[in-house]
Homo-oligomer: A and B are copies of this chain.
Amino acid sequence: MKQQDVFIPFCEKCALETNAIFKHLTRDEAEKINFEKDFRHYKRGDILYHEGNRISGFYCVHNGIIKVFKTGLDGKEQIIRFAKGGDIIAYRSVLSNEPACTTAKVIEDCQVCFIPTEILISFVKSNPAFALELVKLTCHELGEANSYITDIAQKTVRERLAEVLVQLVNDFGLDESKFLRISLTREELANIVGTATESVIRLLSEFKTDKLVELNGRKIKVLNIKGLEKISNVFN
């Protein structure tokens, strides 16, 4: 491991540069997190926490990608969201004081800070601006969840897959060759859309035929995002 890999970011820096939720922390509070936090590395496939477990803190993602999913009856995953640098995860369970309702698994090696529950709670109590920001975040996510419910309930698999691709482009962007900056298995794509792996494969190759995407194994090159948006039936 090279020296620069073990550099531990200062919370003040994170707060300013990447993590909007912490921007209202005072210098003292940032110091406190800095002192209490536990900086951790995780490899692809590692599990940060398991659905059903009680967790003693939340995670502030510095880099890498984590998938957050629920496990259905037959063991089928339903991916709820992805977390990348600047996102926080597990705060829902911590704040509602319930067991984790999801599992978090690493998709791309990541560095995260683990921050104990008490700190979060104490900041909510001591820093009204921070509390408000946190409320805003959860309310925003609630709005997104509501949209997702409506989509899954009303849209076809084809529309949803297109929408998911657009969403992934928005969240992770494209590299210089227009390849999506997140690499998922077909099964994972299916587990976001809420469909069978085979359906994703078939629809992706339809999209390819229609010159909307190019496929190179797990890498997806997005040729026509407007076309995907049109299929997805979203106007925004």
Residues of A within 8 A of B (CB): 70, 72-73, 76, 78, 80, 91-93, 95-98, 101-102, 121, 124-126, 128-129, 131-132, 134-136, 138-143, 145-150, 152-155, 194, 233
Complex CA gap A143/B143 in Å reads: 13
In the complex, which residues of chain B have a beta carbon less than 8 angstroms from the beta carbon of A102? 146
Contact in complex: A135, B134 (CB < 8 Å): yes
Instruction: Say how far A69's CB is from chain B's closest CB, in angstroms.
Output: 9
Contact in complex: B147, A145 (CB < 8 Å): no
- Picked from B92, B132, B152, the residue with its CB within 8 Å of the CB of A124 is B132
Which B residue's beta carbon lies closest to that of A138? B138
Instruction: Say how far A26's CB is from chain B's closest CB, in angstroms.
Output: 15
Complex CA gap A232/B220 in Å reads: 37
Complex CA gap A49/B2 in Å reads: 57
Contact in complex: A78, B150 (CB < 8 Å): yes
In the complex, which residues of chain B have a beta carbon less than 8 angstroms from the beta carbon of A155? 73
List 18 additional A-B contacts (Cβ < 8 Å) besides A92-B142, A95-B135. A70-B147, A72-B154, A73-B154, A97-B136, A98-B140, A102-B146, A124-B131, A125-B128, A125-B129, A125-B131, A128-B128, A131-B135, A134-B135, A135-B138, A142-B145, A145-B149, A149-B152, A152-B153
In the complex, which residues of chain B have a beta carbon less than 8 angstroms from the beta carbon of A129? 125
Contact in complex: A101, B149 (CB < 8 Å): no
- Picked from B73, B76, B126, B150, the residue with its CB within 8 Å of the CB of A233 is B73
